[in-house]
A and B are shown apart, each in its own frame.
Chain A
Amino acid sequence: MSALTDRLAEVRAEGRAALIGYLPVGYPTVEASVEAMRVLVDAGCDIVEVGPPYSDPVLDGPVIQHAAAIALEGGVKVDDAFTAVEAVAQAGAVPVVMSYCNLMIQRGYERFAQELKAAGGAGVITPDLTPDTGQDWIAAARAEDVDTIFLAAPSTTRERMHLTVGASRGFVYATSLMGVTGERASVGSAAERVVVEARAAGAEFVCVGLGVSTGVQAADVAAYADGVIVGSAFVKALGDHGDMEALRIKVQELAAGVRGQS
Chain B
Amino acid sequence: MTESLQSAPGPFFGEFGGQFVPEALMAALDELTDAYEKARIDPSFTEELVRLARDYTGRPSIITDVPRFAKHAGGARVLLKREDLNHTGSHKINNVLGQALLTKRIGKTRVIAETGAGQHGVATATAAALMDLECVIYMGEEDTERQALNVARMRLLGAEVIPVATGTRTLRDAINEAFRDWVANVDHTNYVFGTAAGPHPFPAMVRDFQRIISVESRAQMLDLGGLPDAVVACIGGGSNAIGSFDAFLDDTDVRLIGCEAAGDGVETGRHAATLTGGRPGILHGSRSFILQDEEGQTLPSHSISAGLDYPGVGPEHTWLASIGRAEYWPVTDADAMDAFRLLTRTEGIMPAIESSHALAGAIRLGNELGPDATVLVTLSGRGDKDVEQAARWFDMLPKEDA
Give A contacts to B, CB under 8 Å: 54-59, 61, 65, 69, 72, 77-78, 101-107, 127-130, 132-133, 150-157, 160, 164, 175, 178-180
Contacts and interface: CB of A to CB of B under 8 A. Distances in A.
A106 B26 contact: no
List the 6 closest A-B pairs by CB distance, nearest first. Answer: A106-B296, A153-B24, A179-B184, A102-B296, A155-B27, A55-B297
A65 B165 CA distance: 12
The listed residue with most A CB atoms (<10 A of its CB), out of B27, B180, B186, is B180
Interface in B284-327: 284-285, 290, 292, 294-298
B49 interface: no
Contacts of A154: 24
B201 to A, nearest CB: 14
Contacts of B179: 58
Nearest to B168: A55
Nearest to B28: A155
A77 B285 CA distance: 23
B24 A129 contact: no
Interface of B: 18-28, 30, 166-167, 172, 176, 179-180, 183-187, 281-285, 290, 292, 294-298
A39 to B, nearest CB: 27
Nearest to A58: B179
Contacts of A127: 22
Majority SS at the chain A contact face: loop
A153 B21 CA distance: 12
Contacts of B26: 130, 132, 155-156, 160
28 contacts: A54-B297, A57-B176, A58-B22, A58-B179, A58-B180, A59-B183, A61-B180, A78-B295, A102-B282, A102-B296, A105-B282, A105-B296, A106-B295, A128-B20, A128-B21, A133-B18, A133-B20, A150-B23, A153-B27, A155-B23, A155-B28, A156-B23, A157-B30, A160-B26, A160-B27, A178-B186, A179-B184, A180-B180
Contact of A58 (B30, B176, B187, B294): B176
B281 A106 contact: yes
A62 to B, nearest CB: 8
B23 A152 contact: yes
A147 to B, nearest CB: 17
B23 A130 contact: yes
Contacts of A58: 22, 176, 179-180, 183, 284
B192 to A, nearest CB: 17
B184 A180 contact: yes
A104 B151 CA distance: 38
A65 B24 contact: no
A155 B298 CA distance: 29
A69 B23 contact: no
The listed residue with most B CB atoms (<10 A of its CB), out of A61, A65, A106, A107, is A106
B294 A56 contact: no
A59 B295 contact: no
B176 A101 contact: no
Contacts of B24: 151, 153-156, 175, 178
A179 to B, nearest CB: 4
Contacts of A180: 180, 183-184
B22 A128 contact: yes
Nearest to B177: A58
A252 to B, nearest CB: 31
Contacts of B23: 130, 150-153, 155-156, 160, 164, 175
A56 B172 contact: yes
Contacts of A133: 18-20
B167 A55 contact: yes
Given A55-B297, A130-B26, 6 more contacts: A72-B297, A102-B283, A103-B297, A106-B296, A153-B23, A164-B23
The listed residue with most B CB atoms (<10 A of its CB), out of A57, A61, A105, A155, is A155
Contact of B27 (A54, A59, A156, A175): A156
Contacts of A105: 281-282, 296
Contacts of A156: 23-24, 26-27
A27 to B, nearest CB: 15
A178 B183 contact: yes
Nearest to B21: A128
A57 B180 CA distance: 9
The listed residue with most A CB atoms (<10 A of its CB), out of B19, B283, B295, is B295
Contacts of B298: 55-56, 102
